[in-house]
Amino acid sequence: MIVLEKRPQPSKAWSYATPLVAVLATMVCGGILFAVLGKNPVQAIGTIFWEPLFGEFAFYYRPQLLVKGAPLVLIAIGLSLGFRAGIWNIGAEGQYIMGAIFGAAAGLAFYPLDAWYVFPIMVIAGAIGGCLWAMIPAFLKVRFGTNEILVSLMLVYVAEQMLASVSLGLLKNPEGFGFPGSRNLQSYESAHNAELIAGSGMHWGVVTALIAVIFAYVLLNRHMLGFHIRLTGEAPRAAKFAGVNPARLILFCLGMSGALAGLAGMFEVSGPSGVVSIDFNVGYGFTAIIVAFLGRLHPVGILLAGGLMALTYIGGEIAQSQLGLPAAAIQVFQGMLLFFLLAFDLLTNYRIRAARREVA
């Protein structure tokens, strides 16, 4: 009989190995899925993971990796802080939307003024928008003990309605011939989050994502607050005795993840997307949850995981156009990854051993 034995300490080796094993398992199972859909599995997997990096049109896709990866990393870094402490913000999608609305609104308020300070103000407004939206579940949890999972999630639906409302009303392009959607920020010089080096995909969002990674690394490893976050997650009772203030931690973790998600939304709306429209959000806030776990809630891991997830997005789009692979298949593929990751994590904390049958 096989029994599970709890390891006295989580295995270091397995905690590094599980994401890799999970990716491999997902490739195998994803391949089976693609085969069932009538596609050549080897070709499909190859297209997803190889084409964007080394294929014929890689010069076009590589910058796209940065564009897709940046919001994922930015949001996931924020989420990971809370997840480590057992504070579950799963409404990043809503904070992302609010960041975009606030950021774009700030920019459009200055239209058509040409000044250097327009963009920085938009950045601040975006962060504030996301932060405020995340402060709702944080405040309710601190004050009333309300479940932050449900509140933050409900606020995603509210934010989506807000988005619909502003793109049809407040922020609608006055010269848009009545079509929904705001002015295109790409054609408003002072508010445009343009590529820093043309054709590289490198925009301010990418820079901010990298700064966030470094900031989170320093916070978690060199700072008292980071230590408290880790302590609360790993040993809540010890954290209590160590004098950790749970309310402060909740406000910080949710507020920070909201601000980062808001920034991601703001950089997206002022750069790659350009307009506030009803279908602006594409689920980065939810995919970032997978990124956070895939990266083991570690800043550097998240950076790598964000890159990998961006790869599946781009590769998925290529597979969609070249092989006719349905878009939903990629979504399933990403979901599978999280499944395998959680399942194989067993090996980090437990040892599997063959044992003699004994009386329980």
Partner 1 sequence: MDLGEINPVLLLASLMVAATPLLLAAIGELVVEKAGVLNLGVEGMMIVGAISGFAISVETGSPWLGFIAAAIGGAVLSLLFVLLTQVALANQVASGLALTLFGLGFSALLGQSYVGVKPPSMGDIHIPVISDIPVIGPILFQHDPILYVGIALTATVWAVLKYTRVGLILRAVGENHDAAHALGYKVIKIRIMAILFGGACAGLGGAYISLIRVPQWTEGMTAGVGWIALALVVFASWKPWRALLGAYLFGGITVLQLNLQAAGVAIPVEYLAMSPYIITILVLVILSADKSSAPASLGRIFHASH
Shortest separation between residue 164's beta carbon and partner 1, angstroms:
5
Binding interface with partner 1 (CB under 8 A): 4-6, 88, 90, 136, 140, 144-147, 149-151, 153-155, 157-158, 161-162, 164-165, 168-169, 286, 289-290, 293, 326-336, 338-339, 342-346, 349-350, 360
**To the nearest whole angstrom, how small is the minimum distance from the Cβ of residue 300 to partner 1?**
20
Residue 127 and residue 98: Cα distance in Å, rounded?
A: 9
- Smallest gap from residue 328 Cβ to partner 1 (A): 4
How far apart are the C-alpha atoms of 345 and 335, rounded to whole Å? 16
Q: Both tokens of residue 289?
A: 């949850």
Question: Mapping DSSP to helix (H, G, I), strand (E, B) and coil, where does residue 128 land?
Answer: helix
Cβ closest to partner 1, residue 127 vs residue 311: 311
Nearest distance in Å: CB 27, partner 1: 16
**Closer Cβ to partner 1, 26 or 208, answer by number:** 26
Which residues are CB-contacts of 233 (< 8 A; sequence separation ≥ 6)?
A: 83, 84, 85, 86
Distance CA 306, CA 298 (A): 12
Inter-residue contact 188 to 124 (CB < 8 Å): no
C-beta of 42 vs 332, nearer to partner 1 = 332
Minimum gap (Å) between residue 45 Cβ and partner 1: 17
304: phi then psi, degrees, rounded to nearest 5: -65, -45
**Selection from 332, 338, 337, 340 nearest residue 316 by Cα:** 332
Tell me whether residue 180 or residue 265 sits nearer to partner 1 (CB atom).
180
Q: Which amino acid is at 317?
A: E
Nearer to partner 1, 55 or 246 (CB): 246
